[in-house]
Amino acid sequence: MIKIADYGMGNLRSVQKAFEKVGAPAEICDRADDLVSAQKLVLPGVGAFGDAMRELQSRGMVEPVLAHVKQGKPFLGICLGLQLLFDLSHEEGEWPGLGVLAGEVVRFEERPGFKVPHMGWNQLQPAGSPAILQGIPDDAYFYFVHSYHVVPKDENVVAARTEYGDLFVSMVARDNLVATQFHPEKSQQVGLKLLANFAAW
């Protein structure tokens, strides 16, 4: 069963409906105990990094999330759910993250012609051949909305980059874990294909 972690910050129903559309039932869980039995776990998120970490901690969800990844079970992070995996975020201060991946979360630099937040459709530049992108055209567009992006210390976890003024990391992957800065649940057919690929793991 796919379980979606509900810590009070995320477009949960949209993610659930997208999985249902590809024939993969998903359960929204707001109790830490319910996450323990997840075969596949999704960590979505919309909002501020510091608030998200406080909610995960107050609901006792940090340990089940870390245990799931450590046990080698499939894990998908979406948007803020990608950023939370890293050591540190600089969003309105400095906030420690889950520390699953080494690196930090930084704000886009202000550049002429490029608004912050980065919002709308943009393309991926895959690094290698990530399994999660199997069957998805190289020129596919995905939907983004974010002001911050991740800067991994380990280049080997980078699965795709996207250009917005400069290149930024838009997807990471390591073993059983994959996380996207874009929203697959808002990305029409290519997003559904990505979710179907994850459900098939």
Strand segments (E) across the chain: 2-5, 26-29, 40-43, 75-78, 86-89, 95-96, 101-107, 118-123, 125-126, 141-146, 148-152, 158-164, 166-174, 177-180
Domains and CATH numbers, the chain: 2-199 (3.40.50.880)
pLDDT tens by residue, 144-159 = 999 999 999 999 999 9
pLDDT tens by residue, 31-57 = 999 999 999 999 998 899 999 999 999
The arithmetic mean of pLDDT across residues 16-37, rounded, is: 96
The average confidence (pLDDT) of the chain is: 95
- pLDDT score recorded for residue 138: 85
Reply yes or no on whether the pLDDT at 9 is more than 90: no
Q: What positions carry a catalytic annotation? A: 79, 183, 185
